[in-house]
Amino acid sequence: MVMIPTIDMIKTGQHITELRVQAGLSVRQLQEIFGFSTPQALYKWQHGTALPTIDNLVVLASVFGVKVDDILVTTENAMQVSA
């Protein structure tokens, strides 16, 4: 068995919401930072139904003042590896 990290989308979304609130930003303000015409992508990230692309993660990390790794929430899953 090998432990493989996987991204927990729900917890990552909750964490993005927490970081946004801690930064004192509204969804609308974040939408403007990204230049999105609608806030749908942001709501999908926060609800854990989608993950930001890598370039958007880099922007989030910069806006929130954290590392990309500090945004993502991972869990360890056991995986059988055949030799």
Instruction: Work out the burial of residue 17: count CB atoms within 10 Å of its CB; fewer than 13 is exposed, 13-18 middle, 19 or more buried.
Output: middle
The CA distance from 64 to 57, in Å, is 10
Range(s) of the domain holding residue 64: 2-79
* CATH number, position 73: 1.10.260.40
Q: In the prediction, which pLDDT does 83 show?
A: 65
The token pair at 20 is 């946004």
The pLDDT value recorded for residue 14 is: 97
Which tokens in the block code for residue 45? 């990230």
- Structure-model confidence comparison of residues 82 and 48, the more confident one: 48
CA distances from 1 to 55, 77, 78 (A): 33, 10, 6
Each residue's pLDDT tens digit, 5-34? 899 999 999 999 999 999 999 999 999 999
Give the total number of structural domains in the chain: 1
Instruction: Write out pLDDT tens, residues 57-83.
Output: 999 999 999 999 999 999 988 777 776
Residue 11 CA to residue 34 CA, distance in Å, equals 22
The reported pLDDT for the residue numbered 80 is 77
pLDDT for the residue numbered 82: 72
Closest by CA position to 39, among listed 47, 25, 27: 27
